[in-house]
């Protein structure tokens, strides 16, 4: 079955890429400043379609939830085509899609195990708004880090593998088939993206982060009590990097009196890329190497985290340590490259 899904994914991606390149439709825009780290040759933005095909065609079901997944990928397509340019309008449409998804499916975070937050989210509407905020942070954070090859796909592969590890050891309850059908096309995308043959684009990052957010919240809600318990802080740890990247980027832009909604080249992955390029200009695939390097660190984080998936105390320590390491390296790289915030 795995071989069949992988084969179908590869054939689907190759066929779609050929079509998009032939008609020059949904091809990466090279004239945008924050795209300066991408390949110089035309690359199709077909990653999102691969994920959507897996959710509907391979898995073989069409549900109300899939309908909202379609809405979010359609929004991303409009952004990729530059039909929808305003960051504020994008966030507004994201909000409406996510909010009505949560409301219509009666779906939201049930508990964070943080007393003062749980006190407020006992109210259903507040809980929906809180969940909506968390998902929007993840969607836009994932879009922020999608500046070098393999970073987004590699990151979510690690997230899924962490969950499947817990499932394999019968530590938590869930329908792990959901993660399985998402993992296989992500692996196919990762290989093609490694060599700049395909990109996610906004459509892809919007979709994959939305889907993962839904699965992880659902997983957390189904494992809140013993004997199968997973700390909500573990879910936060799994999503820490895109979430923190988003919040930190907004904060640094506001502090420097810049428009927080517009992209720039001062994200952590950009600094890693410039550092590697300055150290050795002859390195092949510096773009992909930057994403892999960051995810090697995240692999270590998740490797430690899965052994404490139930402990809020240890997970909080790991989370705070990650933020410290991020800031330490960020400001070191900034100084090394002689750049200003």
Determine the Cα–Cα distance for residues 228 and 81; give it in Å rounded to an integer.
45
Determine the Cα–Cα distance for residues 214 and 210; give it in Å rounded to an integer.
6
CB 221 within 8 A of CB 106: no
pLDDT-derived band at 282, boundaries 50, 70, 90: low
**Largest CA-CA distance found in the chain, in angstroms, rounded:** 57
Three-state SS at 85: coil
Determine the Cα–Cα distance for residues 220 and 230; give it in Å rounded to an integer.
7
Chain segment 286-326, per-residue pLDDT in tens: 899 999 999 999 999 999 999 999 999 999 999 999 999 99
Which residue ranges make up each domain of the chain? 2-336
Tokens describing residue 16: 């779609």
**CB-side exposure of 254: number of CA atoms within 13 Å?**
6
Report pLDDT for 230.
93
Report pLDDT for 262.
78
CB 188 within 8 A of CB 10: yes
Report pLDDT for 37.
58
Q: What are the phi and psi torsion angles at 229 (to 5°)? A: -130, 135
| DSSP per-residue codes, 190-219 | HHHHHTTS---HHHHHHHHHHHHHHHHHHH
Determine the Cα–Cα distance for residues 47 and 77; give it in Å rounded to an integer.
11
Report pLDDT for 31.
54
Tokens describing residue 193: 């993206």
pTM of the full predicted structure? 0.94
How would you label 112-122 residue by residue, b for 16+ Cβ within 10 Å and e otherwise?
Answer: beeeeeeeebe
Cβ-based neighbours of 280, under 8 Å, separated by 6 or more: none
CB 202 within 8 A of CB 131: no
Determine the Cα–Cα distance for residues 164 and 309; give it in Å rounded to an integer.
13
pLDDT mean over 159-177: 89
| DSSP per-residue codes, 202-265 | HHHHHHHHHHHHHHHHHHHHTSBSSSSB--HHHHHHHTHHHHHHHHHHHHHHHHTT--TTS--S
Token pair 């802080």 is at which residue?
233
Q: How many residues does the chain have?
A: 341
Report pLDDT for 263.
77
CB 277 within 8 A of CB 338: no
């Amino acid at each position: 079955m795995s071989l069949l899904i992988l084969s179908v994914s590869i054939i689907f991606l190759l066929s779609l890429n050929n079509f998009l390149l032939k008609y020059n439709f949904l091809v990466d825009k090279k004239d945008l400043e924050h795209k300066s780290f991408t390949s110089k040759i035309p690359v199709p933005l077909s990653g999102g379609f691969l994920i959507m095909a897996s959710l509907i065609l391979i898995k073989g079901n069409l549900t109300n939830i899939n309908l909202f997944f379609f809405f979010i990928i359609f929004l991303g397509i409009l952004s990729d085509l530059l039909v929808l340019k305003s960051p504020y309008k994008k966030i507004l449409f994201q909000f409406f899609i996510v909010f009505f998804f949560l409301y219509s499916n009666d779906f939201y975070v049930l508990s964070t195990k943080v007393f003062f937050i749980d006190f407020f989210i006992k109210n259903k509407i507040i809980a929906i708004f809180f969940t909506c905020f968390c998902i929007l942070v993840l969607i836009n954070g994932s879009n922020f880090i999608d500046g070098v090859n393999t970073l987004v796909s590699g990151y979510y592969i690690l997230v899924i593998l962490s969950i499947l590890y817990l499932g394999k050891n019968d530590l938590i309850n869930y329908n792990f088939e959901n993660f399985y059908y998402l993992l296989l096309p992500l692996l196919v995308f990762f290989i093609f993206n490694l060599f700049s043959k395909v990109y996610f684009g906004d459509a892809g990052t919007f979709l994959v982060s939305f889907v993962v957010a839904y699965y992880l919240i659902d997983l957390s809600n189904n494992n809140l009590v013993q004997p199968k318990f997973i700390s909500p802080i573990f879910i936060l740890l799994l999503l820490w990097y895109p979430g923190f990247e988003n919040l930190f980027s907004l904060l640094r832009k506001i502090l420097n009196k810049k428009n927080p909604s517009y992209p720039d080249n001062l994200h952590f992955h950009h600094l890693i890329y410039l550092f590697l390029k300055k150290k050795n200009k002859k390195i092949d695939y510096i773009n992909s190497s930057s994403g892999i390097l960051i995810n090697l660190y995240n692999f270590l984080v998740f490797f430690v985290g899965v052994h404490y998936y139930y402990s809020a105390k240890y997970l909080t320590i790991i989370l705070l340590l990650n933020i410290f390491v991020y800031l330490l390296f960020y400001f070191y790289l900034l100084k090394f490259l002689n750049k200003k915030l």
